[in-house]
Structure 1
Amino acid sequence: MDESFLLMLSNLLHLHNSIDPTTSLLSTTTTSSPSPTSSSSSSTPTSLLTSSSAAPLLFFTIASVLSFIATSRPKPSPATASTSGGTSSATASAMSVSAFRALATEHIWSLEAPLRDAQWRSLYGLSYPVFTTVVEKLRPHIALSNLSLPSDYAVAMVLSRLSHGFSAQTLASRYSLDPYLVSKITNMVTRLLATKLYPEFIKIPVSRRRLIETTQAFEELTSLPNMCGAIDGSPIKLHKHNLPGNYKCKYGYPSVLLEVVADHKKIFWDVCVKAPGGTDDATHFRDSLLYNRLTSGDIVWDKVINVRGHHVRPYIVGDWCYPLLSFLLTPFSPNGMGTPAQNLFDGMLMKGRSVVVEAIGLLKGRWKILQDLNVGLNHVPQTIVACCVLHNLCQIAREPEPELWKDPDESGAPPRVLDSEKSFYYFGESLRQALADDLHQRLSSR
């Protein structure tokens, strides 16, 4: 029986005896000689109901209600237990309002910074300074929503859900809130992160200073000049299973497709979530705003170099699942069947691409909700983008990197070239060969 129910029952017994000592509920009917004392202290169901005092009837009424509540209280299901990670009551109390307030206000400045930040990361996925940055940037927008909860508490609750992957029901029980309110606050905070903070923390590197820094860093890593990013797609598993067939990804589970471009610091400078998980990377890329801006010439990168007579503008790299274009270079061969120069180029290109693979691994490792996304389908894109914004904040602040989440290795045939892409394809093919020959000559002469 629940300990809290037993405690309430014990208190009621003592309360009853103090109210009506003539019908003690703890005594039993005796067989000894009756005496004035024993007859008054003995009780039967009949004597209790016919007692002149209202205390026995009151006691049984209250006890019956408590018994019904105790027996009808839902037991945690295995799914809920697994979602909460088997946390103890101590962990649950650490998620409470009072615990958050105590840690945030009373003890936070008395802790050494490493201990303080480690404790904060274990609860909310990021250090205290980064947490306060998020709160301060969102506070004016949260204030406009007339939310009854303080901004820092609302942000802490949502971050704990994103970093641990808790369901709304699990988090509601820990924060003593209604699950609907938890979902509502989660949707509000993730929407603000995905809209208000996105332009500040997810930016295409068009400024000359940042472009030079990025291309130089990639050249140090790969020996390939003017590389400014790496692109990749990753399915984000959805908790819901009653979805149309086009949501099932090639790994067999329902998902949506995330596409990101990352720089050398594993910071995302473009994010796109527009397709069900069954969509291939090339189709998703062609439907993205980035593709439209690159093909239309809307993005102007002010850094052009000459390689063997080719004007090389900044470009991104991807695997063979993406189309070869003048601004997106892919490997010659997925299985090392090219010339020595081509194989060398492929190895260096994939080395540059590794930054985006690691960035996605960090994203899913740090924000575990993306390992099994349990939000409404309409709120899936904003939740994913919000996690990408938080990922960039952590990378900029040089937060410790968690264990990488490992996606399965990709495979597949190169996509066909569209008629509208042929000029980009032919230029990209020529450019890729020039870069491969130049790379082979430079490294061979060392």
Structure 2
Amino acid sequence: MDQSFLLMLSNLLHLHNHLDPTTTSLLSDTSTATTTATTSPTSPTSLLSSTSAAPLLFFTIASVLSYVASSRPSSSSSTSAAAAAAAPNPATTSSTSDYSVSAFRALSTEHIWAMEAPLRDAQWRSLYGLSYPVFTTVVDKLKPYIALSNLSLPSDYAVAMVLSRLSHGFSAKTLSSRYSLEPYLISKITNMVTRLLATKLYPEFIKIPVSRRRLHETTQAFEELTSLPNMCGAIDGSPVKIRNNSASSYRCRYGFQSVLLQVVADHKKIFWDVCVKAPGGTDDATHLRDSLLYNRLTSGDIVWDKVINVRNHHVRPYIVGDWCYPLLSFLLTPFSPSGSGTSGQNLFDAALMKGRSVVVEAIGLLKGRWRILQDLNVGMNHAPQTIVACCVLHNLCQIAREPEPDLWKEPEESGPPPRVLESEKSDYFFSDNLRQTLADDLHQRLSSR
């Protein structure tokens, strides 16, 4: 019997002695008990034959308590069983204790605000790729959509798990051992969160700079960087390595299987257009021509309300790219990749490539911060949305001015300039003339200083 039953029985015996003092005390000390045993032995029969109702009441209640005590497990054994059930398996302690819902909840709710902000955010970045305030922003924006999925896990825990995968490049199998979830469930949650990032948050955080204020800020910043007027962005492509696809069209110029990412970035290295529509073997010019951005720019769907006059030429906002892209009125490229042009042309090329450097650094930050893009380990059907989701997260980090990680370095690009399509010929001649005008103007301005 456990301690609580013994205590109740002791109290009953005291009550019995109080109600029936004529009966020999059952709680007397050892010496008294010995004397009583030799002179007036107390037995159940003698107690029951007492004139008081107390003995009968005592044995009735004691019998009930005895039955209850015998029918339940002792507290010590139940405590031991509970401790055994709660105790983690030594073989899995190190791999699961730090990643359980309870551990995450303890870190995010009990301890997070007691930590100094720099220490807190540094710890959060090491785990999930971004600071705690940015993390909560992502969770708050995704929570309403995740709630509709009836996911059994808490929204913030699910987002944290996916961010850890994107940040560190973990496979679903690796995360399943850490989070004690099946790999298929890890993949399902990853697909859900990346799809929401790529669809619900894309329009909010990846926007073409069409507003007057933003366009002026962007062109002004690029002019300070390059001395070229009305530049509003830089375009580049980057192969994202994938697995389990042996088709030759996916083999990029660097020799590995990939899909092609195309981005346009502003002076803050924030993407304002993202496209993932082609296998890695596709050249940059073809990818651009197949993109929605190209269709919108050539059709006049995008209207930039900022036109300047340079040597009697109307110059609308334009983006810049390397020699792998076609020369268009909205996309200017270098005269020569080898520096074989005139002094004015070489000066223009150097300025243009300085502007293009922002998109190169932006891609380096993207792959440095979200390392899953260094070796994408998701199914082909989910590869584009995973890449776009990382671009959305990249913009969130840049807007919040998160510390920039080490840049992911890619080999230098090489290749011939693209051919001019029949439909682009008239635009090509206009753009070539515009480019020469900007080069002459730049050369004159810098020479007169």
Shorter-chain TM-score tier: 0.7 to 0.9
Q: Corresponding residue for 1:310? A: 313
Q: Corresponding residue for 2:230? A: 226
Distance in 2 of aligned mates of 1:90 and 1:220 = 52
Distance in 2 of aligned mates of 1:156 and 1:100 = 9
Q: Corresponding residue for 2:265? A: 262
Q: Corresponding residue for 2:360? A: 357
Q: Corresponding residue for 2:446? A: 443
Q: Is the 8 A contact 2:227 2:351 kept in 1?
A: yes
Q: Corresponding residue for 2:80? A: none
Q: Is the 8 A contact 2:210 2:304 kept in 1?
A: yes
Whether 1:105 aligns to 2:126 is: no
Within 5 Å, give how 1:144-163 maps onto structure 2.
Answer: 144-163=148-167
> What secondary structure, in the 3-state scheme, does the structure 1 residue paired with 2:309 have?
strand
> What secondary structure, in the 3-state scheme, does the structure 2 residue paired with 1:278 have?
coil
Q: Corresponding residue for 1:118? A: 122
Within 5 Å, give how 1:20-419 maps onto structure 2.
Answer: 93-240=97-244, 242-419=245-422
RMSD, aligned CA: 1.4
Post-superposition shift, 1:100?
A: 1.2
Post-superposition shift, 1:101?
A: 1.2
Distance in 2 of aligned mates of 1:366 and 1:226 = 30
> What secondary structure, in the 3-state scheme, does the structure 2 residue paired with 1:273 have?
strand
Distance in 1 of aligned mates of 2:335 and 2:406 = 32
1:196-229 Cα deviation digits (max 9, x unpaired): 0000000000000000000000000000000000
TM-score using structure 1 length: 0.79
Distance in 1 of aligned mates of 2:226 and 2:359 = 14
The one-letter code matched in structure 2 to 1:251 is Y
> What secondary structure, in the 3-state scheme, does the structure 2 residue paired with 1:279 have?
coil
> What secondary structure, in the 3-state scheme, does the structure 2 residue paired with 1:109 have?
helix
Post-superposition shift, 1:191?
A: 0.1
Distance in 2 of aligned mates of 1:94 and 1:334 = 52
Distance in 2 of aligned mates of 1:97 and 1:179 = 17
Post-superposition shift, 1:424?
A: 1.4
Distance in 1 of aligned mates of 2:297 and 2:139 = 35
Post-superposition shift, 1:244?
A: 1.0
1:309-344 Cα deviation digits (max 9, x unpaired): 110000000000000001000000000000000000
Q: Is the 8 A contact 2:263 2:272 kept in 1?
A: yes
* Cα distance change on mapping 1:336 and 1:91 into 2, 3 Å: farther
Whether 1:430 aligns to 2:433 is: yes
Distance in 2 of aligned mates of 1:274 and 1:199 = 18
Distance in 2 of aligned mates of 1:221 and 1:404 = 20
Distance in 2 of aligned mates of 1:430 and 1:408 = 32
Post-superposition shift, 1:423?
A: 1.7
Distance in 2 of aligned mates of 1:104 and 1:297 = 48
| Identical-pair percentage | 85
The one-letter code matched in structure 2 to 1:338 is G
Corresponding pairs, count: 360
> What secondary structure, in the 3-state scheme, does the structure 1 residue paired with 2:167 have?
helix
The one-letter code matched in structure 2 to 1:100 is F
Distance in 1 of aligned mates of 2:257 and 2:248 = 8
Post-superposition shift, 1:89?
A: 7.2
Distance in 2 of aligned mates of 1:93 and 1:373 = 27
The one-letter code matched in structure 2 to 1:301 is W
> What secondary structure, in the 3-state scheme, does the structure 1 residue paired with 2:114 have?
coil
1:365-418 Cα deviation digits (max 9, x unpaired): 000000000001000000000000000000000000000000110001100000
Post-superposition shift, 1:99?
A: 2.2
> What secondary structure, in the 3-state scheme, does the structure 1 residue paired with 2:327 have?
coil
The one-letter code matched in structure 1 to 2:324 is C
The one-letter code matched in structure 1 to 2:169 is G
Distance in 1 of aligned mates of 2:286 and 2:381 = 21
- The runs of 5 or more residues in structure 1 that have no matched partner are 1-69, 74-87
Distance in 1 of aligned mates of 2:101 and 2:430 = 60
Runs of at least 4 residues off by over 6 Å: none
Distance in 2 of aligned mates of 1:124 and 1:303 = 40
Post-superposition shift, 1:98?
A: 2.6
Post-superposition shift, 1:91?
A: 7.2
Distance in 2 of aligned mates of 1:445 and 1:416 = 37
The one-letter code matched in structure 2 to 1:208 is R
1:215-263 Cα deviation digits (max 9, x unpaired): 00000000000000000000000022x4311001011100000000000
Distance in 1 of aligned mates of 2:435 and 2:95 = 54
Distance in 2 of aligned mates of 1:433 and 1:127 = 46
Distance in 2 of aligned mates of 1:270 and 1:337 = 32
1:51-93 Cα deviation digits (max 9, x unpaired): xxxxxxxxxxxxxxxxxxx9xx9xxxxxxxxxxxxxx975764
Q: Is the 8 A contact 2:95 2:178 kept in 1?
A: no
Post-superposition shift, 1:131?
A: 0.2
Highest CA radius of gyration, 1 or 2?
2
